[in-house]
Amino acid sequence: MIYVDADACPVKAEVERVGTRHKVKMFVVSNGGIRPSPNPLVETVVVPDGPDVADIWIADRAGAGDVVITGDIPLAARCVENGAMVLKHNGEPLTTANIGNVLATRDLMTDMRAADPFHQGGGKPFSKADRSRFLDGLERALRASQKR
């Protein structure tokens, strides 16, 4: 199965396209505002408003053999711990080998932003190259999960 943390996810269409080709059930999880897909393999899950409700829904279900798409690092850490394969929107896999460093970097950046509220910079824009890397990463993840 594929679980998509759908709020602010720039690759929902790509997930649906690749997931359909592999005939994999997909859960698109958000707290609303997402147009449901007519695709029978895609289930739109709308969770109540609240902090981390969608994350909790995904983390409680994703496990070995599943693929999770998220940019949320704490959610990714929980899913990796549960044995799921996790991909960021740019195709970067989050694994047991790198999730600790990614989580520590996230926490450090949060602390730095809190210490200097006037220097807020944003992330780089999502590019065609990111989309291409994501498609390649998802293809690899699905093939690996099907071997499990």
Query: What's the CA dihedral at 72, 78, 81, 83 to 10 degrees?
Result: -80
Containing structural domain, residue 60: 2-147
Q: pLDDT tens-digit profile of 35-88?
A: 899 999 999 999 998 888 999 999 999 999 999 999 888 999 999 999 999 999
In 3D, which of 67, 93, 92 has the Cα closest to residue 5? 67
| CATH number for the domain that contains residue 96 | 3.40.50
Q: Where are the alpha helices (DSSP H) in the chain?
A: 12-21, 53-59, 73-81, 99-115, 128-147
How many domains, the chain? Answer: 1
Predicted TM-score of the model (pTM): 0.84
